[in-house]
Amino acid sequence: MSRRPFVRKTLFYVLASVIAFFNLVPFFWMVSSSLKERGALLVLPVEWIPNPVSLDAYRRLFSLFPFGRAIFNSIFVACGTTAIVVISASMAAYVFAKISFRGREVLFTLFLSTMMIPGQVTMIPNFLVLRSLGLLNSFLGVLAPSIFNAFAVFLLRQNMRTIPDAFSEAAIIDGASYATIFLKIIAPLSKPVLAALTVITFMGAWNDYLWPLIVLTDRTKMTLPVGLSLLNTQYGNQYNLLMAGGLISMLPILVLYFLAQKQFQHGLSIGGIKG
């Protein structure tokens, strides 16, 4: 009987290792290809270790294309979107979770039902609104729709409902306002789920392609996904150049995830404890 758990655990780790290996193969191929010279990409069999190692693709990437500007634009848009979503959603979630008022559950249900509307359906109305406000071809136009995020509100509300009301009641007795309770009690106790939301939102904004493509028409304002698309159009046969661009675009996501890995996992695990 004692051997059965050992065998089961061994099979689990072997299977997990095999799956992880096959998932990492494309990433290793991307790194290897970005460090090769252009002609070395067509060599068969595939050389996983470049010989010689060349950084020419990275140098040409920034000389042939305004890649640095695209990276800066993506960082600005991703950080701005993340800040807007986290701040607006946390305040809305606090209202729905801790402040009682007539029709709260009905209003939250209606608010939550907007998650069933595909994002493609709202793009044209959002575009028309931005055009009437004169916000097209501006970063503000890209950031404005992120104020409304039903998923973020739902995730934070589920976590905030697990916080005992005794904390808020004690603060109210001491004369604290709703804003003070939110800033001093609710927000600090919600740090794990806020970290998880930050990672999710940043990843979505960093990888967003369609909305910046629609709103931003100036080449100097294009984000990284749009830049990679143009790079693929102009230099589609230079795979080392494309792999170098793709690898650079992945680095911020990887760094952010490793920095907030524990909070991300903990935040997701506690986000749906209480309905």
Share of the chain above pLDDT 70, in %: 89
Summarize the confidence of residues 125-136 as an average pLDDT: 92
Lowest mean pLDDT among 54-68, 91-105, 190-204: 54-68
- Long-range residue pairs from 134-137, CB within 8 A, at least 24 positions apart, any chain: 136/215, 136/217, 137/215, 137/216, 137/217, 137/218, 137/221
Confidence band (pLDDT; 50, 70, 90) for 266?
low
Q: Is residue 262 within 8 Å of residue 193, measured between CB atoms?
A: no
Output the pLDDT for position 8.
82
pLDDT of residue 274: 45
For residues 45-53, give the mean pLDDT. Answer: 75
**75: confidence class by pLDDT, cuts 50, 70, 90:** very high
**Per residue in 94-114, pLDDT tens?**
999 998 889 899 999 998 888
pLDDT of residue 41: 64
**235 vs 246, higher pLDDT:** 246
pLDDT beyond 50 at 15: yes
Segment among 63-72, 218-227, 264-273 with least mean pLDDT: 264-273
Please tell me the distance from the alpha carbon of residue 123 to that of residue 244, in angstroms, as a whole number. Answer: 32
Give which of 258, 264, 241, 222 is closest to 62, Cα–Cα: 241
What's the mean pLDDT in 67-96? 94
Residue 2: which pLDDT band, with cuts at 50, 70 and 90? low
pLDDT for 263 beyond 70? no
What is the maximum span of the chain, computed from C-alpha positions, in angstroms? Answer: 75
CA distance 93 to 38: 52
Is residue 244 very low, low, confident or very high in pLDDT (cuts 50, 70, 90)?
confident
What's the CA gap between 20 and 249, in Å, rounded? 21
pTM for the structure as a whole: 0.83
The answer on pLDDT for 174 being more than 80 is yes
Q: What is the pLDDT of residue 137?
A: 92
Q: In the block, which residue shows the tokens 């934070």?
A: 156
For residue 252, pLDDT over 50 is answered with yes
Higher pLDDT, 109 or 269: 109
pLDDT(159) > 50 = yes
pLDDT category at 58 given cuts 50, 70, 90 is confident
From the options 1.20.210.10, 1.10.3720.10, 3.50.30.40, 1.10.132.50, give the CATH code of 65-270: 1.10.3720.10
